[in-house]
Structure 1
Amino acid sequence: MTEEAAILTPRSKRAAQKKSGVWSWIRFVLVLGLAMLVLHNIAGIMKVSGHSMNPTLHNGNILLINKLSLFFGTPKYGDIVIVDDDRLGYSIVKRVIAVEGDRVSIKDGITYVNDVPLVELYTYGKAEDMAEQVIGMDELFVAGDNREPGASLDSRDPDLGPVHMSDVKGYALVSLFPLHKLSKPLKL
């Protein structure tokens, strides 16, 4: 018998297998950690709390969130975004009504952006009138689809006002539970 063959006793085989098993677990944990890091920064899941987005979203809906798109562009009209404002202490789900440089007002329950009335078939209720606001640089005007007075904390409320782009944490892609698409504004 050679010296190498003598070294591979049953005891040393078990030790080699343990070492291989430990490295397998370390690789598994590292790959899992990397996958979680990537998924946390690319996608997310959020549960809707409240009725501010009725009739599009309802209390208890589970949303799939797209975070990756924030690296490649800015929200556009009609997008449903997740806003995490430090003043609130929690996240809100709202629809983008206007972007930087736009003028927004509400007259007789109709929302105007740059003096053009929005066709909003996805809303519920009649909003209170609001004097014209000009949206600042890197800001968005967001509103809930439920426009009944007091039903939604959004940019119409002076306590919140327009939100800064850095407070947008992602886009709502689809409602996973119950499963349905999210309505978008009509293109005229």
Structure 2
Amino acid sequence: MDIETNDAGGSSRSALWRSVREWGVVIVVALVAALAIRTFAVQTYFIPSNSMAPTLEVGDRLMVYKLAFRVGQVDRGDLVVFNRPESMKNSQIKDFVKRVVALPGEQVQAINGVVYVDNLPLPEKYLTGDSPTTDFDPVDVPKGQIFVMGDNRSNSRDSRSFGPIDVDLLVGEVFVRIWPIRNVGRP
């Protein structure tokens, strides 16, 4: 004599638990991936001051590629995020956003409002006439360091005040503005 058992309730519970476990694994993997990406690859930053205006405005949100300088090199004109230099340890700002103006081994100076790198005028199409560059004496950029400046030259604390920065302080390169919506894109 054969006895049939109806285990529909048991198999549906088993399928439910299997589905919950699968979703749990997916969620954990997604969280770990998001944390790894934020820690090692990409991070958002907020612009707290107008030192980079008009290129970047107060309140802009940026995505920064943190691996940029681990797999490539720093180039003149790059917008970079870097950790506060030791000479700025009393500043409440932890991270700075500035433009790379001179590279290791180069000499930079400003004469009559024009920045010169190795005695050649630096083309700076991103600047407006609203914020002239104050003159400064020649600075030799040491190996392993870069010279950075804000685009709002009259309202920026940059290498003119704290000197060239170690490339080890670089967090990454700005690659896109994500806020405000009207300005989304490459700055």
- Structure 2 length-normalised TM: 0.81
1:55-74 C-alpha deviation (Å, 9 max, x unpaired) = 11111112122223222112
Q: Alignment partner of 2:123: what SS?
A: coil
Q: Could you tell me which amino acid in structure 2 is paired with residue 134 of structure 1?
A: D
Query: d(CA) in 2 for partners of 1:145 and 1:170?
Result: 18
Query: d(CA) in 1 for partners of 2:127 and 2:144?
Result: 25
Deviates more, 1:79-88 or 1:94-103: 79-88
Query: d(CA) in 1 for partners of 2:8 and 2:145?
Result: 68
Aligned to 1:77: 76
Give the drift of 1:11: 6.5
Higher helix fraction (1 or 2): 2
Listed as ranges, the matches of 1:14-25 within 5 Å are 16-17=14-15, 19-25=17-23
Give the drift of 1:19: 4.1
Is residue 112 from structure 1 mapped to residue 110 from structure 2 by the alignment? Answer: no
Give the drift of 1:10: 5.8
Q: Could you tell me which amino acid in structure 2 is paired with residue 120 of structure 1?
A: E
Q: 1:74 to 1:20 in 2, by over 3 A?
A: same
Identical aligned residues as a percent: 27
Listed as ranges, the matches of 1:95-106 within 5 Å are 95-106=99-110
Give the drift of 1:9: 4.3
Query: d(CA) in 2 for partners of 1:134 and 1:37?
Result: 39
Aligned to 2:55: 56
Deviates more, 1:15-24 or 1:47-56: 15-24
Q: Could you tell me which amino acid in structure 2 is paired with residue 165 of structure 1?
A: V
Q: Alignment partner of 1:30: what SS?
A: helix
Is residue 168 from structure 1 mapped to residue 143 from structure 2 by the alignment? Answer: no
Listed as ranges, the matches of 1:26-37 within 5 Å are 26-37=24-35
Give the drift of 1:81: 0.5
Query: d(CA) in 1 for partners of 2:27 and 2:176?
Result: 30
Is residue 136 from structure 1 mapped to residue 142 from structure 2 by the alignment? Answer: yes
Unaligned runs of 5+ in 1: 183-188
Match of 1:13 among 11, 14, 22: 11
Give the drift of 1:25: 3.7
Aligned to 1:186: none
Aligned to 2:64: 65
Q: Alignment partner of 1:181: what SS?
A: coil
1:132-170 C-alpha deviation (Å, 9 max, x unpaired) = 11111211100000111xx1111110xx21111111111
Unaligned runs of 5+ in 2: none
Match of 2:184 among 163, 171, 179: 179
Query: d(CA) in 1 for partners of 2:82 and 2:127?
Result: 19
Query: d(CA) in 2 for partners of 1:122 and 1:53?
Result: 10
Deviates more, 1:38-47 or 1:91-100: 38-47
Residues paired across the two proteins, number: 175
